[in-house]
Structure 1
Amino acid sequence: MESSLSTIKHIDQIYKVTSQMNIRKGAGVKYSKIDQVDQGIFVKATEFYKGWYKINYKGNIGSGWAPGKYLEIAPVNYKEAGLVELTEKDGFVIDLHYATKKNFMGYRLYPKKAKALMTKSTAKKLKKANKLANKKGYKIKIWDAYRPLSVQWEMWYKIQNHMYVAYPLEDSKHSKGVSVDVTLVDRKGKELKMPTKFDSFSEKAGRSYPNNSKKAQQNMEFLTEIMLEAGFTAISSEWWHYNDSNSDFPTLDVPVK
């Protein structure tokens, strides 16, 4: 760059891309194009120079310069983004696996004190499903809810399989706060028998798998029944994953704390 260090402003800000834009090697159109970023993606800006921002994108895998006219400041926390928290005081069991090392990635993706977040409408529907579970003496255990887009990128780079991890640039409903990963527990807090454990990326996790035990099949079908009645939809590849039937919400990349 034809500039001195004193003219570059160092920043730390998350922005949302408002229109498809080119990423360049330096701050200006005279620099060569190195990539392209689509509308709606979140990027982290680290430097500013004469209307251009040095950004990290694609889950911090890519780096380059982008024109500021295509960037808008993104929400900085979950409340500003319109998300709400569900806790055990709301009658759920909270067990966020990605806030521990006990997940398919092998390390924490969320901080230890991460919150179970989702949109207000999704939270309302999940409360309804939990009341239906309560009638049978069960509770819903939440394994995952809202997932920052940057975390979705980390998962995608490891798995790269649409059946189990949504491609971040297309439609990650977890990153909209409208998807939940759940199971059921009994009055003693013990998980009910289900086809597989959480994040079992195999055919056994599929809803049409024919060799489930009778008890696991019954429990999966009951969970599905109450979730659908509450306003969720299911997917074929993961028995634990449910989407709010209304997913018309923006993708987000705010922290889960």
Structure 2
Amino acid sequence: MKITKSLIASCLSFTLLLGGVDQVMVPSTTAKAATIQKVEKTLKATAQLNIRKGAGVKYSKIDQIDPGVFVKSTQFYKGWYKVSYNGKIGWASGKYLKKAPAHYKEAGLVELTEKDGFVIDLQYATKKNFMGYRLYPKKAKALLTKSTAKKLKKANKLANKKGYKIKIWDAYRPLSVQWEMWYKIQNHMYVAYPLLDSKHSKGVSVDVTLVDKKGKELTMPTKFDSFSKKAGRSYKKNSKKAQKNMELLTKIMKEAHFTTIDSEWWHYNDKNDDYPTLDVPLK
């Protein structure tokens, strides 16, 4: 083939055109990256939604979030949040996610301390629990809704009149911890199903016992988190002392407007539980 000036010019033009396409594509990718925002916050799913490999419905599904579940976001791009959930990282539509409180005060919870007259002994802030490891930070706070905290203070004053104090084993429990417990036990008699009836995660439930003036726990039917029929309120073979002490604690808590459950003598619910489920840190 005879090479002419016009052919050389045509080839050069074609090469420049290709170069131009490359130059357009690179800024386009860079521009996309520049629109990705860093957004670190806790979000709550308002409906069942998919987690996808990328920000858009064209990307494949890698997992699914149920309504009421909390997730942590790190990035935001065109209406989609990059989230971590169940050990996986992907993108979820912001249409079905709403901002959740990030701090316990923002969520309307208050702290109870030993200055309030209680003995605080949060079992899940230690390794001495049924999970076998620490679920809460070492310096976790005993948190409740304001209304529930007020009722528990009333219960403690009633206990004081009898010469005792209330020891708090557990109070508000983050929903993420409730899920962790559920995955291990999966028995709603002892661990509430997180999406339906986790009153601990609303800050309206407490696990408590009574101690004497020296701080010694009163004899009760079982130890805390004894997942057995002996922990049930209808168990007939308690010692007289254990039965009497359990009945005293029950009377005190009911007088302060708490209710009981059948399977755990130590667990009490605020009669008013019309509060949102939460997943805020315990400190």
The TM-score with structure 1 as length reference comes to 0.93
Q: Structure 2: how far apart are the matches of 1:10 and 1:77?
A: 19
Counterparts of 2:87 and 2:241 in 1: how far apart (Å)? 44
Partner Cα distance (2:53, 2:232) in 1:
44
Distance 2:206 2:144 in 1: 8
1:133-191 per-position Cα deviation (integer Å, ceiling 9, x unaligned): 11110000000000001111111111111111111111210000000000000011000
Q: Does 1:181 align with 2:225?
A: no
Distance 1:165 1:62, change over 3 A: farther
1:192 and 2:218 correspond: yes
What SS class does the counterpart of residue 242 from structure 1 fall into?
strand
State the shift of 1:220 in Å: 0.4
Name the aligned partner's letter for residue 232 of structure 2. G
Q: Deviations over 1:52-93 (max 9, x none)?
A: 112223xx3454321112222211111000000111111110
- 1:215 aligns with 241
In terms of fraction of residues, the more helix-rich structure is 2
**Identical columns (%):** 81
Distance in 1 of aligned mates of 2:59 and 2:197: 32
Whose RCO is larger (CA < 8 A, sep 6+)?
1
**Unpaired runs of at least 5, structure 1:** none
Which residue of 1 is the match for residue 7 of structure 2? Answer: none
Query: 1:124 matched to which residue of 2?
Result: 150
1:240 to 266, 273, 279: 266
Return 5+ residue gaps in structure 2 as ranges: 1-28
Secondary structure of the residue aligned to 1:153 is: helix
Aligned length: 254
The answer on 1:148 being equivalent to 2:194 is no
Q: Hey, what's the Cα distance between the residues in 1 that align with 2:92 and 2:37?
A: 15
Secondary structure at the residue paired with 1:36?
A: strand
TM-score, normalised to structure 2, is: 0.85
Tell me if 1:30 matches 2:58: yes
Instruction: Kindly provide the amino acid, as one letter, of the partner of residue 132 in structure 1.
Output: L
Distance in 1, Cα, partners of 2:164 & 2:147: 22
Alignment partner of 1:113: what SS? coil
Equivalent-residue separation in structure 2 for 1:63 and 1:252 (angstroms):
21
**1:79 aligned to 100, 105, 108, which one?**
105
Shift, 1:34, TM fit: 4.2
- After TM superposition, the structure 1 stretch with the greater mean CA deviation from structure 2, 196-205 or 36-45, is 36-45
Matching residue's letter, 2:57: V
Alignment partner of 1:47 is 2:50: no
Residue matched to 1:18 = 46
Which is higher, the Rg of structure 1 or of structure 2?
A: 2
Q: Which among 237, 253, 257 is matched to residue 231 of structure 1?
A: 257
What is the RMSD of the two structures over their aligned residues, measured on CA atoms? 1.8
